Amino acid sequence: MLKKKKFLISGLIVFLAIAYLGFVGFRSSATFYYTVSELQAKGDSVKGQNLRVNGLVAPGSVQTEEGGFVLKFTVTEGGKDIPVFYRGTVPDTFKAGNEVVAEGHIDSAGIFQANTIMPKCPSKYVPE
31-119 adopts what CATH topology?
A: OB fold (Dihydrolipoamide Acetyltransferase, E2P) (2.40.50)
Task: Characterise 51 by phi-psi region: left (phi > 0), alpha (psi -120 to 50), beta (else).
Answer: beta
Average pLDDT over residues 94-102: 90
Residue 128: per-residue pLDDT: 61
Question: pTM, whole model, 2 decimals?
Answer: 0.69
The helix/strand/coil state of 64 is: strand
pLDDT in tens, 79-88: 899 999 999 9
**Domain range list for the chain:** 1-30, 31-119
Q: pLDDT > 90: what percent of the chain?
A: 37
Q: How many CB atoms lie within 10 A of CB 120?
A: 12
> CA-CA distance, 67 to 109, in Å (whole number)?
25
Average pLDDT over residues 43-55: 85
- Contact between 88 and 68 (Cβ < 8 Å): no
pLDDT in tens, 56-78: 999 999 998 877 789 999 999 98
- Residue 82's Cβ-side half-sphere holds a number of Cα atoms within 13 Å equal to 31
Strand 51-57 to 32-35 pairing:
parallel
Residue 42: per-residue pLDDT: 83
pLDDT in tens, 31-45: 567 888 888 888 888
Residue 28: per-residue pLDDT: 62
Residue 85: per-residue pLDDT: 95
